[in-house]
Structure 1
Amino acid sequence: GSMIDLFLAVPGVQVKAVCDPVRDKAERAAAKVTAAGQPAPTVYAKGEDDYENLCKRGDLDFVYVATPWELHFPMAKTAMLNGKHVGVECPIAMRLDELWQLVDLSERTRRHCMQLENCCYGRNEMRVLRMAHAGLFGDLLHGAGAYNHDLRELMFDPDYYEGPWRRLWHTRLRGDLYPNHGFGPVANYMDVNRGDRASSISSIGTPALSLAEYRKEHMPAGDPSWKESYIGADRTISLVQTAKGRVIRLEHDVSSPHPYSRINSLGGTRGVFEDYPERIYLEPTNTNHQWDDFKKYAEWDHWLWKEHANPPGGHGGMDYMMVFRLMQCMRLGLVPDFDVYDAATWTAPVPLSHLSIKAKGAPLPIPDFTRGEWKKTRSGVDSEKPAE
């Protein structure tokens, strides 16, 4: 409902079809298309599987998936089998075997399957990325990312998530349900899948108390949520080791009260950056053991942020940056900034953290979805501005 505005804002993009089992929502999206001056798109709203008919069309290049998590895998699979590139909201799938299937399908169909990780396009994230690649942090040692976001009110709102689907995942898995926002940017800093790789993960979790406590205080007797038993840890902490020995800390907490934070930190032999609030300490510039102002480093902004200084859309403009860049790559025939190997790697903590917590924090191997290709240098988010 909101992302369609951003696709329509990018020159050269046509929205040819929209799909939602709730016809009113599909028609509202279609109205945005005509309001933007494009022909009315075809509306697919005949049940839960009508997306299959959308994917069969011959006039589509790219399919965008923004649905409950359990539908991400079958929709991405259907899109690729019908010859379409596909971009999927987080996480791209919920099981390890599904991640492997998406990798295999992307290779076999020669179609891109991307995790639409908007946080990789945040201004701070892109600035730190370019500084890291320029060597300002020295040799990289450690990083951290998170999705610490109090969602209790929204998860118990019957309208916001259109039913209890997101809350119900807390009755099924113990681990990190949403690692991508934290993992993606730090993986980019460290060139994961582009010279390094995430090799193992060890996870621990707190008791699952906060959702039940919120329900007790806010939900009336007889509400369907009273039939649910929550097992998802209120806070999950995972340590990821890379092939080069670096350490990435991931956190997930959507159940307990706290301010929003993605942590977003990076440390090396020459200094460290930490976000929320943003601050930096780099030698030889800083030698007084006091944080410095990150705004001083605006010269390191990515070309996207220099070209689009005041982007439209939500999340501070990162959503538009992601859509603009992805559509640019599609139009120009460029390799996207991240691909199915990144999608699988960034999502692997979903099933693996659950298994590690069950095994009392035992480290588990993260599959090499690239099958050894991670050893080769290739392009990523730290891109050069293309010639039109």
Structure 2
Amino acid sequence: MSEPTVSRRGFLGVAGAASVAATASPALHAAPGPRPSGQLRIGVVGGGFGNTFFWHLDPDCKVVAVCDLLPEKQKLLAERYRCTNTYKNFREFLKHPDLDAVAVFTPAPLHAFMAVEAMKAGKHVISAVPAGLSVEELEEILDTVKKTGLRYMMAETSYYRQPVITCRELAGEGKFGTIFHSEAEYHHEGLMKVMFDDRGLPTWRHGLPPMLYPTHCTGLIIPVIRERMLEVTAVGWGDGHEVLRTNQYKNPFWNETAFFKTSKGHSARVAVYWHVAAAGSERGQFYGDRMSYLMERPEGTQNTFVRISSQGKTVLDSNGYPEGETEMLADKKANYLERLPEPLRVKSGHGDSHTFLTHEFVRAVLEDRHPTVNVWEAIAYTLPGIIAHQSALRGGESLKIRDYGQAPA
């Protein structure tokens, strides 16, 4: 990329170059006020992905119990979170005294069931993605939240990826103008290795429909555009591989591409691919009439702001036609970690999002408020993929997507 022709201040139209990094998001505060007394006492179930979070570093949280079927994973959780109370049985785990909340990081088909059971047992819940694998599961989670009054959060990492924080805040300031089209892609070649366990038996990932795992894409788009996805047509591709002919989901597709219409009549494209000749990526791009943003690609391009020349300049294309000259500016990553308590200012997975998810859930429970990715947002991120998969199975039929609303103020 050539050197930028404008300053960051001039390009973004902000008061100062540092203001983007300094502007606090609605649920994270650079200088939080007085905290409620006490700590959130949490239990973690699932020693795989559940071992990658930072509950033990948050000053307002203490891990009081961990749970996994496998002794070696119990040990990993106990060591990670400095906890001596280990369980193999989930129901016994839920009975642990003084347990306020549960972090569910088990295989995807268990997420909804365990979240509902934990809330029925009086525990707040943070769950790995996806929230559920069917409309019925999502509705059961929502109904349980409403009946119990407990807090539920889906740990969608895309919400706190650093470029998404930037785009969320600039969109809120109107810097994009109208975002009329958004795109997101989740490319993950190589999953065949985790479709079978050490015994050669199928795991939950064996043949999982790509659009039942949509939130690394929808979780990029929806928080930025602040719209719901209300209609979809989708296309799937598969090659008749044994996995696609024998999986429990009856899914014939390696890859699925969905085109959505949003609540404001705008468009969004989501592509989730399990088998593709491309490097792994979780990225998005947002096209506005005043500014656009392109997240970095694995081929080496940077996170980039783009806009038409502020000088009104035009250039001639290869056919001699005039076109607006573009100005591009590389996004120098802001240090959003400074918004977190000092012990949590560490590098973490999925674009440094894990510490943000950790702290947001803790603060939401202690402050008795809905977290950022609450149950209504979780449904808004998850449901479009479920309906998109139905569309793909029907050959691209256009289907409506129900809007379950927003969290109450």
**Which category of TM-score, normalised to the shorter sequence, fits these structures?**
0.7 to 0.9
Cα distance 1:184–1:316, how it changes in 2: closer, same or farther (>3 A)? Answer: closer
C-alpha displacement of 1:233 = 1.9
Q: Residue 281 of structure 1 corresponds to which residue in structure 2?
A: 306
| Bigger-Rg structure (1/2) | 2
Q: Secondary structure at the match of 1:167?
A: coil
Question: 2:168–2:224: 8 Å Cα contact kept in structure 1?
Answer: yes
Q: Residue 44 of structure 1 corresponds to which residue in structure 2?
A: 87
Task: Please identify which structure carries the higher helix content.
Answer: 1
Task: Summarize deviations over 1:331-385 as a string: whole Å, max 9, x none.
Answer: 3334311210111121113431221112211121111212xx58x8x6xxxxxxx
Q: Residue 202 of structure 1 corresponds to which residue in structure 2?
A: 233
Q: Secondary structure at the match of 1:186?
A: helix
Aligned pairs for 1:212-361 (under 5 A) are 231-275=251-295, 276=297, 277=301, 278-283=303-308, 285=310, 289-290=325-326, 292-295=328-331, 298=334, 304=339, 311-361=346-396
Question: 1:142–1:246: 8 Å Cα contact kept in structure 2?
Answer: yes
Q: Secondary structure at the match of 2:211?
A: coil
Amino acid at match of 2:54: L
Q: Residue 218 of structure 1 corresponds to which residue in structure 2?
A: none
Question: 1:87–1:115: 8 Å Cα contact kept in structure 2?
Answer: yes
Task: Summarize deviations over 1:186-211 as a string: whole Å, max 9, x none.
Answer: 1011113xxxx2211211112335x6
C-alpha displacement of 1:165 = 1.8
Mapped to 2, the partners of 1:58 and 1:362 lie a distance apart of: 51
Q: Residue 23 of structure 1 corresponds to which residue in structure 2?
A: 71
C-alpha displacement of 1:239 = 1.3
Cα distance 1:12–1:128, how it changes in 2: closer, same or farther (>3 A)? Answer: same
Mapped to 2, the partners of 1:283 and 1:168 lie a distance apart of: 46
Task: Summarize deviations over 1:257-309 as a string: whole Å, max 9, x none.
Answer: 3112223111111121111232221245586644623325849x697379899
Question: 1:141–1:267: 8 Å Cα contact kept in structure 2?
Answer: yes
Which runs of 5 or more residues in structure 2 are unaligned? Answer: 1-46, 314-323
State the Cα RMSD in Å. 3.0
Aligned pairs for 1:22-171 (under 5 A) are 22-34=70-82, 40-45=83-88, 50-156=89-195, 158-159=197-198, 164-170=202-208
Q: Secondary structure at the match of 1:337?
A: coil
Runs of 4+ in 1 over 6 A off after TM superposition: 305-309
Question: 1:145–1:249: 8 Å Cα contact kept in structure 2?
Answer: yes
Question: 1:19–1:43: 8 Å Cα contact kept in structure 2?
Answer: yes
Q: Residue 61 of structure 2 corresponds to which residue in structure 1?
A: 13
Count of aligned positions: 344
Q: Secondary structure at the match of 2:113?
A: helix
Q: Secondary structure at the match of 2:272?
A: strand
Cα distance 1:94–1:279, how it changes in 2: closer, same or farther (>3 A)? Answer: same
Task: Please identify which structure carries the higher strand content.
Answer: 2
Mapped to 1, the partners of 2:309 and 2:327 lie a distance apart of: 13
Mapped to 2, the partners of 1:10 and 1:306 lie a distance apart of: 7
Q: Residue 18 of structure 2 corresponds to which residue in structure 1?
A: none
Q: Residue 13 of structure 2 corresponds to which residue in structure 1?
A: none
C-alpha displacement of 1:106 = 0.7
Mapped to 2, the partners of 1:166 and 1:176 lie a distance apart of: 15
Question: 2:153–2:361: 8 Å Cα contact kept in structure 1?
Answer: no
Q: TM-score normalized by structure 2?
A: 0.75
| % identical aligned pairs | 22
Q: TM-score normalized by structure 1?
A: 0.79
Amino acid at match of 1:113: Y
Mapped to 2, the partners of 1:325 and 1:163 lie a distance apart of: 37
